[in-house]
Structure 1
Amino acid sequence: MQKLLLYFCVFLLLFSCVSVKSYNEEIAVNHSARSLKKDVNVAYKKLQKLHPRLYQYIPKPTLDYKFDSLKNTIVTPLTSKQFYEKLAPVVSEVRQGHITVSPPLKRFTSKERKALNKNKFEFYALDFEYLNDSLWIVDTRGLDSTIVGSKAVKINGEDIYKLFKKYKKLFSSDGYNNTFQNRIIASRFSGFYYKDKGFVDSLSITLKKEDSLFTKMFRRIPKDSVKGKKKEIDSLAKKPKKLTDQEKRDLKLKQKEKKNRDYIYGFEKDRNRYTRNLDFIGKDSSVAFMKIRSFGNGNYKNFYKESFAKIDSLKTKYLILDLRDNTGGRLDEIDKLYSYLTDKEYQLIERAEVLTRQPFLTSMLSKNSSSFVKIGAVLLSPFVAIHNLFKSGKNEGKTYYSFSSANIKKPNPLYFKGEMYVLINGASFSASSILSTNLHANKRAIFVGEETGGAYNGTVAGLFKFIELPNSKVVMNIGLAQIETPYEMDPDGYGIKPDVEILPTIEDRIHKIDPELDWVLEDIEVKKNN
């Protein structure tokens, strides 16, 4: 039995190595024009079959023409990456921000991944921001801090502006605003560069700071670098203190409390920060500042329960909700948060328009779903199917699915009764925009910052279908449900616009000034004095 198990493991290892090698060879070769045109047809048919608002921002004849024109341009063999660079700009014309197209990337064997995991790429520690129509380094996360405030001019000899312009064609926001693309490319620049250039061991960036032009190299270095080893040696040199039984119990309790806090606040290990934060500004606790970086990880129910109980007990008069750079997340979380921000019965979203009465099964059986999810979907398919049918229906020829957030709900007894401000920018997207639309439509808050990247009139998201095109292996992720609030804005295709527009500058970042927050605090002071 042990030998059989050993043979099986060896077989899996060999099969994995062979499959990785064959996949890498497949995506590197030139695919025939005929096979790529078939992929174009598959991509468009999948969009038509799955996306409920495909023609919201572009007429069908226009989109038909663009896909036909794309096929006419494919006359010679292309690699998968070359094909991706032709397909993505056409798909982006749909102007639905949750549709993503990605090139197939080189895969690594388990042995190669293990070796790579021993290193860290310095380039990934850089935080970029698009300010003053340029790309700037605003943080280095432990690297050379002297380059903070430097403008990126070139990367490996290529003009940054040209790369930025190229990447903007590969995806879109919801609708017609331009704020989303600038913010997202900047915040995820290393990811865009990796998709474009593939794996690299090092790269150089030409930077400009004041009148000085210079070049910095960024390499893959061991995680246990000299600096790390020195700390380890220093720590080993000190004899660890022997703890008493009581100290051990206290330490264990402290670790448990930290683990619980990390879960509630959503600890982001790679950034050493929390997803959710609550602070009070000023000595009298009259101003609460709630920063929500995403509606994703952690136990959000406990966070909002604890936070608003504290706000209520301190009789806080002003709440600043910071949704800048919050690209979205769970509907259930914004539903829970909104229940603390309104004093009326509410319906967060309408029933979602879909093109299938089995959206959950469709999503679960995606190409990228784990084997566990796929097996579960098959085994539970009768129950999931019945559930989906119960939650969906038809009206005037359209199919709808009812998420729980479409139910009418009452405000939480601890709802905030004071004045609100909401900070937004171009990276406030998806669930952030759904929440902001509700707050804006009900005149619940003063909005400060920049137009959101997500559209006022909703977005196609909620559930997703992952598609791998058969020949090129280019991948697409398609939203399945139109998520919109009971409120609309005319004209369609724009985000929530701030009542007070404030755009930060690189000077603000260098001097650690937050102009949006400063304006709010000044406005609050005026109100207090009056």
Structure 2
Amino acid sequence: MVPAIPLLPLTLFTLQPVAADTPLRYPAAAVIRLIDTLSGKLDESHPGYYRYRSKSRVQQYTDSLKATITADSLTTLEIYRKVKPFVSAIGCLHTGLQLPPAYVSQLNSQPNLLPLQLLFDDRQATVTTNYSADSSLLPGAVITAINGKSIRDLLAVLLPAIPADGYNLTMKYKTLYHQFPSWYRSMIGPAGTFTLTLSDGRTVIIPAARFEELARPGFLEEPSPRETLSFTLKGKTAILTIRSFAASDVKRTGQHFRKYIDRVFLQLQQQGIRQLIVDLRGNTGGTDGNAVYFTRHFFGQPFRYWDRIEVTPTIAGQIKGFTRLFYRKPALREGTYRWKKSPVTREFDYYTLQQPARSVYNGKTYILTDGFCMSSCADVAAILSFHRKAVFIGEETGGGYQGNTSGMMPVVELPPVSLLLTVPLQQYYNAVDTTLHRGHGTPPDYAVPLTANAVINGIDQPMELALRLAGAM
């Protein structure tokens, strides 16, 4: 969820480039101040800071974290490894903490990444793609330890550091599938070689690779599909794929979201198509207007999409003077400051009653989801699931069923290390039952987790199940 006009920036510090191989160490007192600064910024500006943990629990965590700063000084990576799980523990996938870009660039210039793509469960990792020169590591090889650390011990470090809404795990495991080498490097440490222990008793040693040697769309880089939207017919079953709701992604592929969706649903109506499969897997969200527009095609009556949007008192207090030309003053209601419609952008309008589309679909709908269904995509899934507009197949969505914290997301630099903290300023509440799936995403009606066998053999199990249920196989 990204607004049209990103105002309300938090205080920014001057960026200082930091080389990855610098011997710089930072005094313990400076690290403790960094933690206090970080916690203070989140407390004053992040409306979801206490969404899943009480203020007292957050304070206990903050105090215990500072108590672990026992060394006289810490390096950039040591500080990052201390603070990253603290930020991720908020339970907000939009709250980010990144290493300085110059530092990452320096890391990327060196061979320090594991040249394998791995699919994880809670005990082991399976090779799905081997980018190393060692031909003995065939797809399907099972790794039980890396550089002397068991997969279970590695996951105990990595999973708490990966941000996700609430207590969700599907997004964390999906992240590891697509980005494990980078996460290993930042949270465990760069390595020049990797000693792999395999389930068959073998030990394999492979050299590390550089980022540019490994990175490709979908692995270490964002996927880059040729089409954001696609539509096909398989007999009397339609398949609509939406890779993103982001206007920028749709524009990049030369498509127009609303016109495309209108044509699809008009065709469904005119041809009497009664079975529709919507593939939302890998859709990380984007423009709320597009997400809402799509959702309207399943409702014959007006409906609620968001219940409300909240901001902190500090952010509410910043809506004054010139800023009020773009945003209306949040209203204090039932103890919280609630966002109101903007006179300029419509990005925050969808807490009001939504009207049905012109071409409403009344047939059977199957929606495919996975852990990378985030943000506005997760909102769509929640609303359609709550109103029983579709059957869901695949994995729990990575974004929260109850909503998320996103909207405007300024970046704060944390001195003295120049770690970059992304702070979302709007807390969204979906118009769903508040007792359902708290801290989790929309669950599937038919759970079909991704398996190594399916990846290696090119089997799309969720789609196959949807086609069988629709009578198209």
The normalised TM-score by structure 2 is: 0.79
Amino acid at match of 2:405: V
8 Å CA contact 2:112–2:193 kept in 1: the answer is no
Encode CA deviations 1:110-154: one digit per residue, 9 max, x unaligned: xx99x96xx9x8969865433575333435699999843343455
In the TM superposition, residue 443 of structure 1 has moved relative to its aligned partner by 0.7
In structure 2, distance between residues paired with 1:411 and 1:141? 49
In structure 1, distance between residues paired with 2:307 and 2:384? 15
In structure 1, distance between residues paired with 2:385 and 2:211? 48
Amino acid at match of 1:394: L
In the TM superposition, residue 498 of structure 1 has moved relative to its aligned partner by 1.6
Aligned partner of 1:512 among 454, 458, 462: 458
The equivalent residue for 1:433 is: 378
Tell me which moved more, 206-215 or 438-447.
206-215
Matched, 1:33 2:28: yes
In the TM superposition, residue 162 of structure 1 has moved relative to its aligned partner by 3.4
In structure 1, distance between residues paired with 2:212 and 2:48? 47
3-state SS, counterpart of residue 406 of structure 1: coil
The equivalent residue for 2:239 is: 289
- Which structure has more RCO (C-alpha within 8 Å, separation ≥ 6)? 2
8 Å CA contact 1:92–1:172 kept in 2: the answer is yes
Aligned partner of 1:134 among 124, 127, 152: 124
Amino acid at match of 2:372: A
The equivalent residue for 1:78 is: 74
Unaligned runs of 5+ in 1: 1-17, 224-268, 363-380
The equivalent residue for 1:348 is: 305
8 Å CA contact 1:359–1:463 kept in 2: the answer is no
Q: Percent identical across equivalent pairs?
A: 22
Amino acid at match of 1:48: D
In structure 2, distance between residues paired with 1:211 and 1:509? 24
Amino acid at match of 2:91: R
The equivalent residue for 2:160 is: 169
The equivalent residue for 2:174 is: 183
Aligned partner of 1:88 among 84, 87, 93: 84
8 Å CA contact 1:28–1:80 kept in 2: the answer is no
In the TM superposition, residue 382 of structure 1 has moved relative to its aligned partner by 5.4
8 Å CA contact 1:346–1:409 kept in 2: the answer is yes
The equivalent residue for 1:401 is: 339
The equivalent residue for 1:333 is: 290
8 Å CA contact 1:360–1:384 kept in 2: the answer is no
Matched, 1:322 2:322: no
Amino acid at match of 2:279: D
In structure 2, distance between residues paired with 1:359 and 1:191? 37
The equivalent residue for 1:463 is: 408
In structure 2, distance between residues paired with 1:210 and 1:279? 44
In the TM superposition, residue 513 of structure 1 has moved relative to its aligned partner by 1.9
8 Å CA contact 1:207–1:216 kept in 2: the answer is no
3-state SS, counterpart of residue 404 of structure 1: coil
In the TM superposition, residue 25 of structure 1 has moved relative to its aligned partner by 8.4
Encode CA deviations 1:434-481: one digit per residue, 9 max, x unaligned: 111100111100111222222211111122131211223222212211
Change beyond 3 A, Cα 1:221–1:504 = closer
Aligned partner of 2:424 among 469, 479, 484: 479
In structure 2, distance between residues paired with 1:168 and 1:419? 37
3-state SS, counterpart of residue 290 of structure 1: strand
Query: Is the radius of gyration larger for structure 1 or structure 2?
Result: 1
3-state SS, counterpart of residue 303 of structure 1: helix
In the TM superposition, residue 47 of structure 1 has moved relative to its aligned partner by 1.0
Structure 1 residues 3-22: aligned runs within 5 Å: 20=17
Matched, 1:61 2:56: yes
In structure 1, distance between residues paired with 2:92 and 2:112? 33
Change beyond 3 A, Cα 1:139–1:294 = farther
In the TM superposition, residue 63 of structure 1 has moved relative to its aligned partner by 1.3
Encode CA deviations 1:232-258: one digit per residue, 9 max, x unaligned: xxxxxxxxxxxxxxxxxxxxxxxxxxx
Aligned partner of 1:447 among 369, 392, 403: 392
Change beyond 3 A, Cα 1:74–1:148 = same
Tell me which moved more, 516-525 or 39-48.
516-525
The equivalent residue for 1:307 is: 264
8 Å CA contact 1:340–1:412 kept in 2: the answer is yes
8 Å CA contact 1:278–1:307 kept in 2: the answer is no
8 Å CA contact 2:184–2:190 kept in 1: the answer is no
Matched, 1:298 2:250: yes
Change beyond 3 A, Cα 1:270–1:168 = closer
3-state SS, counterpart of residue 306 of structure 2: coil
8 Å CA contact 1:334–1:431 kept in 2: the answer is yes
In the TM superposition, residue 314 of structure 1 has moved relative to its aligned partner by 3.4
8 Å CA contact 1:149–1:509 kept in 2: the answer is no
In the TM superposition, residue 315 of structure 1 has moved relative to its aligned partner by 2.9
Unaligned runs of 5+ in 2: 1-14, 214-220, 252-256, 341-347
Amino acid at match of 1:513: I
Change beyond 3 A, Cα 1:196–1:86 = closer
